[in-house]
Structure 1
Amino acid sequence: MKKTLEKLSPIIFELFEHLHQNPEVSWKEVNTTSFIANFLKSNGCEVRTFPDHTGVIGELGNGPLTVGVRADMDSLWQEVNGRFQANHSCGHDAHMTMVLGTLLLLKEMQLELPGRLKLIFQPAEEVGDGALKMIEKQVIDDIDFLYGVHLRPIQELTMGTASPGIIHGAAETVSAKIIGFDAHGARPDLGVNAIEVISAIVEQLKGIRLNPFDSFSVKMTQVSAGGDNTNVIPGSAQFHLDLRAQKNETMDRLVQKVDHILQQVASLFEVKIEFEHKEKVYAAVVNPKAQKIMAKAIAEVIGAENVMPAVITPGAEDFHFYTKERPHLKAAMLGLGCDLAPGLHHPYMSFNRDALLNGIEILTRTVLATFKQN
């Protein structure tokens, strides 16, 4: 398999370079969808696209068991070299390349699959609702095993190592508005200072107490209040909160605490606070059987000594909507060591591209082993 992969490596690195140089943000992955759809068709897949949104599905083979491999497609919008642009700093270009590389490797090996392989190229992971759209379109209803992949920063995994599971945490955003009237700086008694309301919220959030054995955090990440005139006390403001928890149950309790604080502060200051919860993603649920299959594949590719324990990270992934909404799924996500630095979402993130070949071989062996054991 390694020799076949080496033969394919020029095509694989060319694929990566194309995807890397043509990033598109969430729900606007139009050209990426077209490129991947054409590639899948030219390599023997049945292809499904969607009339109302981006994303593409490729299917290959027949049989009673269906194995899915999912890659996210979207990039971030961030400042790079002094200007804002779409930028693949989370590794989605690598993820797409590895799934396409898995298809190429299987095709080159001329294997007849004993089941159905479904390649899922999912939009809008960065905004947390791409997986929900795939679920809505019943993309995963017939899948038995589902695998994903994510590059890991050097602080978690180094080049030549990999993990058969990524334990992402749950995450949620609260978008809120304080609704009131401005007052003159000389007459603070005639209004409520929205900045003081925000300060009270921040102080109360610091006092949240949950089980100390359960990791969680909540912090204000965006604030907008006041205008150009510095002698006006702002009565209105907008703010966002970022909530994180390692367990879904902990997130549920954290949400209750945050909602209570917002309601009580509103009552204390006699001001209206409107808020809603957005961009909710669930914590990981890794299936032991899928994890075991992937761990064996990693050992075959890079050695048993380089199979690392499941990576526990406060980061979030909408991949875990699939197992939350479809509990029948046996799922695991490959954490791939690649000397990624300085970190995920850093505008100048880079990694050792040779790791792509490790990832492709691990995913391919995982798929084949999944078919064989059933």
Structure 2
Amino acid sequence: MSTEKILEVFHHIHENPELSNEEYETTDYIFEYLKGEGFNPVKFKNITGLYCDMGTFDGNHPKIGVRADIDALYQEVDGVKRANHSCGHDAHTGMVVGAMLKLKDHEALDSRGVRFIFQPAEELGTGALAVAEEGIIEDLDYLFGIHLRPIEEAAMGEASPSIEHGSAATLQFRIVGEDAHGARPHLNHNAIEIGADIVNMLSKIHINPVIPSSVKMTKFISGGKSLNIIPGIAECGIDLRAQTNEEMDNLKNRVFKILEYVEDFYGVSIKDQEFSSIVASESNEDAIQFLREGIIEALGEENLMEPITTTGGDDFHYYTVKYPGLKGAMIGLGCNLKPGLHHPDMTFDHDALENGSEIIYQSILKVK
């Protein structure tokens, strides 16, 4: 029965995607669904999303958090730009609800408290910090998460007790100069040429080669319908990745120095800078061990993988960085996911939903 309910939740979330910080109907759906199953969910006060407590919350028993993310990406699907669940958040929500149903009325709740967190805005990298501001993380001892993995990282039926994400960041800005007539290129600096120089300079950034990293321009909009105008303005975006928080700081500093140089050399302004980032994982060995035991219980030791290291990112890790005493780790779930995360046509084996739900459930029981 729990498998059918997991699929019910998954399909509803999948068919009704909402963007980050706009998950109003998603929040209402999860809230009403949990109430209908006899739980007592609580909506967040200042943001979308909700949480639900089960078990015993006192100073004598462990307190475990389990986090699911609920937002969708914005991308073009079949020629239409729309919200789309191509990162698996619909699956994560279904699996966490499934774990709640398995745990309901379990005697283990007499000796532990479990807080199930349905977090908004993971795709913006801001949701975890916003949830932390709601004041529901401080009293937790452990925090577990789960994420579908692409087929090249994990096969169907396998699972890892931790995903070691790197740090990821984005920087948006505008090059602001003056337009000029196409016949008078000496009267301005071409924003397109400036952008090309920035791309070239980004490629010359070198940090410790032992640590995976990358930095690249991912957005550039300049010019208009009149092709005899040399544009002086451009909208730009840069994506930064580093496997450690220290090297991300290094990468970030180098990028800002490039922009400062461009301003000075070309006499233009770099305006409206918006920098956002998520930290690299700082997983806890105790949490990893409980997840390891949960995977063995659910799938068998032969399907237990080593921790997965990936250059992708997840704002889940803000929780453990912000609260150093919080012991956290994220399950990596094999599910035959292809052609890849964030691909508009991403698919995976839905039988994996029961696997993930069972792992979460068994891992909670392992915590003493």
**When the two structures are superposed, what TM-score results if normalisation uses the length of structure 2?**
0.96
Following superposition, the deviation at residue 160 of structure 1 comes to 0.8
Q: Are residues 1:19 and 2:8 paired? A: no
Tell me which amino acid in the other structure corresponds to 1:250: E
Question: What SS does the corresponding residue of 1:46 show, helix, strand or coil?
Answer: coil
Tell me which amino acid in the other structure corresponds to 2:46: D
Question: What SS does the corresponding residue of 2:276 show, helix, strand or coil?
Answer: strand
How far apart, in 2, do the equivalents of 1:59 and 1:96 lie?
16
Q: Are residues 1:176 and 2:176 paired? A: no
How far apart, in 1, do the equivalents of 2:9 and 2:233 lie?
49
Structure 1 stretch 171-180 or stretch 65-74: which is displaced more?
Answer: 171-180
How far apart, in 1, do the equivalents of 2:187 and 2:347 lie?
54
- Residue equivalent to 1:286: 283
Q: Are residues 1:53 and 2:34 paired? A: no
Following superposition, the deviation at residue 343 of structure 1 comes to 0.8
Aligned equivalent of 1:104, options 98, 101, 114: 101
Q: CA distance change for structure 1 residues 13 and 110 in 2, over 3 Å: closer, same or farther?
A: farther
How far apart, in 1, do the equivalents of 2:110 and 2:235 lie?
54
Cα-Cα RMSD: 1.4
Matches within 5 A, 1:1-80: 7-62=1-56, 63-64=58-59, 65-80=62-77
Aligned partners of 1:44 and 1:60 also within 8 Å: no
Matches within 5 A, 1:1-374: 7-62=1-56, 63-64=58-59, 65-107=62-104, 109=106, 111-274=108-271, 276-370=273-367, 372=368
Aligned partners of 1:77 and 1:85 also within 8 Å: yes
Aligned partners of 1:61 and 1:112 also within 8 Å: yes
Following superposition, the deviation at residue 41 of structure 1 comes to 2.5
Aligned partners of 2:9 and 2:93 also within 8 Å: no
Aligned partners of 1:283 and 1:320 also within 8 Å: yes
- Residue equivalent to 1:4: none
How far apart, in 2, do the equivalents of 1:112 and 1:255 lie?
45
**When the two structures are superposed, what TM-score results if normalisation uses the length of structure 1?**
0.94
- Provide, for residues 29-65 of structure 1, a one-character-per-residue CA deviation record: whole Å limited to 9, x for no partner: 1111111112222334332213432100101111432
Aligned partners of 1:174 and 1:275 also within 8 Å: no
Tell me which amino acid in the other structure corresponds to 1:52: N
Following superposition, the deviation at residue 324 of structure 1 comes to 1.3
Following superposition, the deviation at residue 110 of structure 1 comes to 5.7
Following superposition, the deviation at residue 341 of structure 1 comes to 0.8
Tell me which amino acid in the other structure corresponds to 1:236: I
How far apart, in 2, do the equivalents of 1:61 and 1:350 lie?
35
Tell me which amino acid in the other structure corresponds to 2:98: G
How far apart, in 2, do the equivalents of 1:276 and 1:144 lie?
37
Tell me which amino acid in the other structure corresponds to 1:76: L
Task: Give the count of matched residue pairs.
Answer: 365
Structure 1 stretch 275-284 or stretch 154-163: which is displaced more?
Answer: 275-284
- Provide, for residues 58-113 of structure 1, a one-character-per-residue CA deviation record: whole Å limited to 9, x for no partner: 01111432100000001112222222222111111110011100110011656543
Q: CA distance change for structure 1 residues 363 and 114 in 2, over 3 Å: closer, same or farther?
A: same
**What is the aligned-residue identity percentage?**
47
- Provide, for residues 175-231 of structure 1, a one-character-per-residue CA deviation record: whole Å limited to 9, x for no partner: 111111111111111111111111111111111111110111100011111121111
- Provide, for residues 235-277 of structure 1, a one-character-per-residue CA deviation record: whole Å limited to 9, x for no partner: 1111011111010000000011111111112211122222534
Structure 1 residue ranges, 4+ long, deviating more than 4 angstroms after superposition = 108-111
Tell me which amino acid in the other structure corresponds to 1:24: E
How far apart, in 1, do the equivalents of 2:5 and 2:107 lie?
17
How far apart, in 1, do the equivalents of 2:250 and 2:154 lie?
31
Point out where structure 1 has 5 or more consecutive residues left out of the alignment: 1-6
Aligned partners of 2:176 and 2:268 also within 8 Å: yes
How far apart, in 2, do the equivalents of 1:30 and 1:259 lie?
36
Aligned partners of 2:31 and 2:50 also within 8 Å: yes
Point out where structure 2 has 5 or more consecutive residues left out of the alignment: none
How far apart, in 2, do the equivalents of 1:228 and 1:12 lie?
50
Tell me which amino acid in the other structure corresponds to 1:50: F
How far apart, in 1, do the equivalents of 2:326 and 2:23 lie?
27
Question: What SS does the corresponding residue of 2:3 show, helix, strand or coil?
Answer: helix
